């Protein structure tokens, strides 16, 4: 992860997530933590929101993605959010953690991924798998 980061923790959303029938029956709460590589110096120098990430738009997009369709796996939702952030918010690297209450007796289960945007001349942006995610 680069030196400058935007960290947004505890984005709460409702979604249908899980393998069991009862998990898919009604939306359940999840929490999303994000870390985006940013250029804080540039944003600070201009003191202009156009040079920064719009937190409200970021949170709204994450919530919308979580509610877009039912999924079975935390991994599926986490990957979808990482791809969304890379494509829509001008960051080159993102770390995403999605948490849910999964079993009695544990605080939560989570999946965390780190993804990097890779640009190749004349080609579309593709997402590369980063190390350090666990």
pLDDT value at residue 118: 79
Q: What is the DSSP string of 70-81?
A: -BS-HHHHHHHH
Q: Is the residue at 63 inside a domain?
A: yes
The domain that holds 56 is classified in CATH as 3.30.1130.10
Q: Is the residue at 134 inside a domain?
A: no
Active-site residue, 41 included: no
Q: What is the pLDDT along the chain (134 residues), one digit of tens a residue?
A: 558 999 999 999 999 999 999 889 999 999 999 999 999 998 899 998 888 999 999 999 999 999 999 999 999 999 999 999 999 998 999 999 999 998 889 999 999 999 998 765 554 544 544 434 33
Q: Is the residue at 49 inside a domain?
A: yes
Task: Please give the residue range of the domain that contains residue 13.
Answer: 5-129
Cα–Cα distance list, 120 to 88, 117, 124 (Å): 18, 10, 7
Taking alpha carbons only, the member of 16, 4, 26, 12 closest to residue 98 is 12
Q: Is the residue at 60 inside a domain?
A: yes
Number of domains in the chain: 1
Residues 6+ apart with CB under 8 A from 100: 17, 18, 28, 29, 30, 31, 74, 108, 109, 110
Q: Is the residue at 36 inside a domain?
A: yes
Q: Is the residue at 39 inside a domain?
A: yes
Q: Is the residue at 72 inside a domain?
A: yes
């Amino acid at each position: 992860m680069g030196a400058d980061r935007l960290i947004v923790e505890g984005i709460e959303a409702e979604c249908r997530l899980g393998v069991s029938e009862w998990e898919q029956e009604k939306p359940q709460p999840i929490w999303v933590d994000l870390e985006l590589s940013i250029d804080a110096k540039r944003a600070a120098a201009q003191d202009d929101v156009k040079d920064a990430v719009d937190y409200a738009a970021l949170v709204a997009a994450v919530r919308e993605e979580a509610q877009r369709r039912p999924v079975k796996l935390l991994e599926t939702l986490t990957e979808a959010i990482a791809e969304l952030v890379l494509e829509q918010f001008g960051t080159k690297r993102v770390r995403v953690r999605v948490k849910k209450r999964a079993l009695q007796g544990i605080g939560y289960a989570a999946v965390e991924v780190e993804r990097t945007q890779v640009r190749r001349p004349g080609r579309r942006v593709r997402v590369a798998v980063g190390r350090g995610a666990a």
